């Protein structure tokens, strides 16, 4: 939007600024939706919207869709003001459509349940294997059957844990996607385009090396 809009008028400049701010709010709204957090109460989202627009999200079941709707209205207003030609207007409209497609894909991943039998059967098989493995090795390996069994079963258990984490890649857990870091990085990049001198700090892993 910053490169497409003719910012020669004050009205177009204000809408251009709002488009970028609202997009920052949108990525935070999507993060909240994927982590089942209330978007209307998210401080990172709230600081990029005016009070009236933020308050309107209280009644919205899908804050991301609501913000993209406001983006479409703002883009249409830029076209009416003559700050966007037809080609650029079409390109921005396609960008909004792509965002809706990406959001829909993420929501389908979030809401599509894995059959519980997959996790249940896998966990039980690991337990049975852990109990029978030392019995089959004790005659040939002797006492070495104990550490070998521990290492092999630990490896299977870690694979099982990774499988559990992949069932919900957006959850608040160390093995999940670092959505907070991703959205903050987008916020930093866009705020720099707006000339902000004090953007949020760059996300860094915690003492355990976990990036949320």
The pLDDT of residue 30 is 95
Number of neighbours of residue 169 by Cβ within 10 angstroms:
15
DSSP for 56-90, written as a single string? HGGG-S-HHHHHHHHHHHHHHHHHHHTSS-HHHHH
Return the structure tokens found at 69.
């709707």
- The single residue listed with the structure tokens 């490896």 is 155
Average pLDDT over all residues of the chain? 85
Q: What is the mean pLDDT of residues 18-26?
A: 93
Q: What is the pLDDT of residues 33-58, one digit of tens each?
A: 999 998 888 989 998 998 888 988 88
Q: In sequence order, what are the residues at sequence separation of 6 or more whose Cβ sits closer than 8 angstroms to the Cβ of residue 146?
A: 134
Q: Do residues 65 and 47 lie in contact, with contact meaning Cβ atoms separated by under 8 Å?
A: no
Q: Do residues 40 and 63 lie in contact, with contact meaning Cβ atoms separated by under 8 Å?
A: yes
The pLDDT of residue 45 is 92
**How many residues belong to the chain?**
212
Q: In sequence order, what are the residues at sequence separation of 6 or more whose Cβ sits closer than 8 angstroms to the Cβ of residue 87?
A: none
CA dihedral 81, 85, 90, 94 (to 10 degrees): -80
Percent share of the chain, pLDDT over 70: 95
Q: What is the pLDDT of residues 128-170, one digit of tens each?
A: 888 887 788 777 878 787 888 888 888 888 888 777 777 788 8
Domain ranges within the chain, ordered by starting residue: 10-112+178-193, 116-166
Where does residue 162 rank: exposed (0-12), middle (13-18), buried (19+ CB within 10 A)? exposed
Angle at which helix 145-166 crosses helix 116-141, to 10 degrees, equals 170
């Amino acid at each position: 939007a910053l490169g497409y809009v003719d910012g020669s008028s004050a009205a177009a400049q204000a809408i251009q600024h709002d488009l970028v701010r609202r997009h920052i709010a949108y990525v935070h709204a999507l993060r909240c939706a994927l982590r089942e957090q209330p978007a209307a109460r998210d401080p990172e989202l709230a600081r990029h919207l005016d009070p009236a627009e933020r308050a309107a999200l209280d009644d919205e079941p899908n804050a991301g869709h609501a913000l993209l709707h406001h983006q479409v209205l703002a883009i249409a207003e830029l076209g009416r003001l003559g700050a966007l030609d037809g080609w650029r207007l079409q390109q921005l409209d396609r960008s909004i459509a792509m965002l809706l497609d990406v959001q829909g894909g993420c929501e389908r991943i979030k809401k599509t349940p894995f059959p519980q039998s997959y996790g249940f059967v896998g966990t039980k098989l690991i337990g049975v294997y852990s109990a029978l493995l030392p019995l089959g090795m004790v005659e040939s390996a002797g006492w070495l059957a104990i550490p070998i069994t521990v290492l092999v079963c630990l490896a299977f258990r870690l694979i099982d844990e990774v499988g559990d984490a992949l069932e919900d890649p957006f959850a608040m857990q160390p093995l999940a996607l670092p959505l907070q870091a991703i959205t903050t990085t987008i916020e930093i990049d866009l705020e720099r385009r707006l000339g902000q001198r004090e953007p949020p700090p760059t996300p860094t892993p915690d003492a355990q090396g976990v990036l949320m």
